[in-house]
Every structure is written in C-alpha cells, then in structure tokens.
Amino acid sequence: MAHRHCPNCGGLKLHPFHRVNDAEQRYIASQGPNPSDWWRCGNSGEKGRCLWVQPIYHQSAGFSLPDSFR
C-alpha cells in the first residue's frame, strides 16, 4: 500500500493506492506502457471505484482505466 495524490479524486488529500491486478496489468500493456510497478487509486466515489492508474512515482504517465474496470 502506498499513498499518493490522485488527479481524478482531486484535492490535497493522499489516497491509498494498491498494485494493479492481472487484468489491469494486461489492459495497461495493451495501451503501450510496461505495466510493472503500476498502481491504482483505491478510493471510491459516488460512481464506484476510482479508475486512475499510474507508475508509482510518475503521475504524468498515468491514465484512467475504461469504465468496465469499476
């Protein structure tokens, strides 16, 4: 577990991030990046689980998973 800022959830609060699972890793790889050491925001909002994924120290390389990953 790590705590990072999340551009989707916003604010100054740090959110718990966890390592992406196999399905998430496959999707990230299908988009081009090497998915090793990618993490997903573990925060939940009104619409369900947050879809933000990123390399743990490289937020600008991250993106949102498609809605099917909620």
Closest CA to 4 of 49, 69, 70, 53: 53
Q: Is 51 in the site for Zn ion (CB under 5 A)?
A: no
Task: Tell me if 3 sits within 8 A of 16, measured CB to CB.
Answer: yes
How many helices, marked H, and strands, marked E, lie in the chain?
1, 7
Is 49 a binding residue for Zn ion by CB under 5 A? The answer is no
Question: Which one of residues 17, 38, 39, 52 is an interface residue with Zn ion (CB under 5 A)?
Answer: 52
Binding to Zn ion by CB under 5 A, coded x per residue (else -) over 3-42, reads ---x-xx-------------------------------x-
Give φ, ψ of 15 to 5 degrees. Answer: -115, 150
Instruction: Write out the residues near Zn ion by the rule CB under 5 A.
Output: 6, 8-9, 41, 43, 50, 52
